[in-house]
Each structure stands twice: as structure tokens, then as C-alpha cells.
Amino acid sequence: QLETVYETVGRRPQRTSQGIASLSVSLTEENLATPGILYRLLQPLALQGVNLAEVASTTSEFHVYIDEADVMLALESLYAAFR
């Protein structure tokens, strides 16, 4: 399976990871118009020591990729920040 990807892409990935989970947050129009909204999402994770393996965003979603062991801590931190 991976060889097919290598043949299609033509190069090997720079790195691979296992044990990574993705958390996705849908952003409303109000969120998108709020200065510092990404800071409000990232600060609770940083304060809890959750390491971000990767971050991705679209116009209406924000995704963080973290260690699977940190998923519940990250969820609880985000829920508490936006109550």
C-alpha cells in the first residue's frame, strides 16, 4: 500500500508517526471574526503541556494532531476554555 503512494508521489515522506490523534474544531462565522480565536484554542493545550505534532486549518475548521495519550486532556482543556 505504501509503495503505491511512493510510486504516485515520487518521494518518501520526510517523517512518519504512529500514535497520533486528530482533534478538529469547527469554527462559526462569529469565531472566524474573533481576534485571537486560534490563541484561545492553543493556549489551554500549551498550559497543559500537550505537544502539537502538527496543525492544519481551513476556512472553517482547525485541526491539531497530538499524541493519542493526550486526547482526553486536550478535550477537557478545550471544553473548559469555552464554557
The pLDDT of residue 81 is 87
Helix (H, G, I), strand (E, B) or coil at 81: helix
> What pLDDT is stored for residue 67 in this prediction?
96
Check residue 32 and give its pLDDT. Answer: 86
Q: Model confidence over 2-46: pLDDT tens digits?
A: 777 777 776 666 677 889 999 999 989 998 898 988 899 999 999
Name the pairing type of β-strands 20-26 and 61-67.
antiparallel
In the prediction, which pLDDT does 59 show? 85
pLDDT of residue 11: 63
Model pLDDT, residue 13: 64
Q: In whole angstroms, what is the distance from residue 82 CA to residue 23 CA?
A: 15
